[in-house]
Chains A and B, each alone.
Chain A
């Protein structure tokens, strides 16, 4: 999608809001919640982010996938207006300055932070107040959210009295209390146990079902693969791929796995040239004309087909193909480190 078409799409929806006293129209699935073009950010002469382009449609779950130090947090901070890019443009719901629509955004930073002496309910209400809710309304909604997450009993407990997991949940609820239209989560799964990771995944899906755009950074491929419609793969401050997860996987041809009774025979000549054999299995890329002609020749050659499966490439394979082996190894190391 080119810049012009993006701009046209925005002009139909939220971009128009600037002229109309920031009144926002209902979400348009074709419109962009986030648009970034050529974002560059350097720190002390080092380019942390080097020409990042991202487009996140409204209502999508979008992942920014990359190893630690790839520039994920810096990119998110630029998108949120915490820091300004040295070059490039960023637009959130068509606005150049994200603070102008702070009420529409919820942000959970990677470094969890709450005032330890505050009560849970007050912490949620305070985070809502930062986004424009009155304290009374924040408390009311906060209590509702705590009840929904079975934490109502902790409403009057100070943050310092909560477990780490409970405090993280309270902060997440504070991120959502003002009912944002865009939720940005920086490494949201980091530090959570498997049960809480599952809860968070469900929460992200339910937000998307309500039309909320969710963008999160992660170095764990399977979170991105399970949740995201779109993904930006980031490595070394650059984004070599940004698009749908499906398209990323489709960049690598599907693999055929064949198991035969016969070990050898004339039928092997029918297999593609780049077939490799591993034990009882043959592996080769899915032929362009499909498997039917090949199947015919295998049957005629009495190969004795025991099994044949077509395996689509996973996001991991796509990541290796796009970002390279080194980035993939670092990603795996980060993920292993995060889980241990």
Chain B
């Protein structure tokens, strides 16, 4: 009676839904992976990861700037009479606002003051002071002493300053009026190229930072032998797809967090950021398709770039037997990413050229090339076609990868393990959970 009741319950359950669709199966995997990654301690490190290069870059920049300031002060020494020195400095101060960095700072050489025997040439050769060059003689006939390069560089400005000292009255500069145009064809194209370059670079950095994570994504399943349960329950391409979308989701969380932090930082220190970066982000050159569509396309192309590279990396990583192999594969994989980026970046200004078309059509570089096109050209249909093309390649790569995985990896039983143990010199009874190489690092068994 009880058995009959259970049987009836079984039938009711089973008749309801004999299998998951591929999407449902992928969702089960994606949900598990997304939650597992998001609630792991490692995710915190993932989030703060980009801070390290920013921090290191900031520190290096700050130190470099300080060193640069201390070592490359452009100061020309004056070893003339006291009156001439004062006249030269006054003339320089008058010209400086108009010529900005075109004229050097001037400072009287202390050692020369009241010293008729002062030898500027010997002084320079003795590497005393911190002068780019030294001016001797008089304002009517100045003499510049320094290295060939410095003399050539400062000869004109020094002569101009000297000439200015001879004027009877202080120089009066006519006040010019200004008329600016918002843009010209040349400047608009130049600005859009800058936008395209920046967008490509941002997308490249994000994919490089994030897509590599997929490489070791199946390592856990292979190491814990869960892969066989997954492979028995759902199609392997659903496993691949689920893992890809989970990591894409994780990436978006990361990008969202970094974006919010950036936005917060911008809100607090807008002017400082503009000053430090020397870039007015409020007036960035607009892309051809407009900012809202460009951002939407950026998200779509990032997703495609991630899925394309990710599916490739997932397959490569899935083929690896050990974590060490995955690590070894990281370098060629990074090189591949760089090559794809260079292809798209190099052809950015040659829209329609043969090489640019290669970049547009080649699936891995296509998202980068098309994002640049969105910045440079207003045509929209090409983006719809490109996204469909890229999506098709994602599906093909996932299918191919999962087939390869089933064919190459899921093929062994007990005999394979025994062979491997013998090869590792563990005898036939290495046993599960032993301390052999299998225990040290996750790996699958070879074929029977």
Contacts and interface: CB of A to CB of B under 8 A. Distances in A.
Same complex: yes
Interface of A: 17, 22-24, 26-27, 43-44, 46, 48, 68-74, 77, 80-84, 99-105, 107, 109-118, 126-127, 129-132, 164, 178-179, 181, 184, 187, 191, 209-212, 337, 340
Q: Which of A83, A113, A116, A337 counts the most chain B CB atoms within 10 A?
A: A113
B227 to A, nearest CB: 7
B20 A43 contact: no
A205 B415 CA distance: 29
A315 B214 CA distance: 50
Contacts of A44: 447
B220 A115 contact: yes
Interface in B411-437: 411-415, 418, 428-429, 432-433
Q: Which of A111, A178, A191 has the most CB of B within 10 A?
A: A111
A102 B413 contact: no
B411 A74 contact: yes
A98 B229 CA distance: 14
A110 B36 contact: no
Contact of B18 (A22, A71, A82, A130): A22
B230 interface: yes
Interface stretch (B3-11, B67-75, B265-273): B3-11
Contacts of A22: 18-19
B20 A103 contact: yes
Contact of B25 (A77, A130, A164): A130
A118 B221 CA distance: 13
A140 to B, nearest CB: 13
A68 B429 contact: no
B15 A23 contact: yes
A49 to B, nearest CB: 9
Contacts of A191: 432
Given A82-B232, A337-B428, A210 B7 contact: yes
Q: B28, B226, B232: which has the most chain A beta carbons within 10 Å?
A: B232
A27 B428 CA distance: 42
B9 A179 contact: yes
B190 interface: no
Nearest to A126: B32
B224 interface: yes
Nearest to A105: B232
Interface in B359-376: none
Instruction: Point out which of A107, A131, A211, A212 has the most chain B C-beta atoms below 10 A from its C-beta.
Output: A131
Contacts of B418: 68-69
Given A100-B18, A102-B234, A115 B36 contact: yes
A113 B224 contact: yes
Given A77-B410, A210-B6, A111 B15 contact: no
Nearest to A123: B226
A295 to B, nearest CB: 45
A289 B410 CA distance: 54
* The 3 A-B residue pairs with the shortest CB-CB distance in the complex, in nearest-first order: A73-B413, A69-B415, A113-B225
Contacts of B224: 113-116
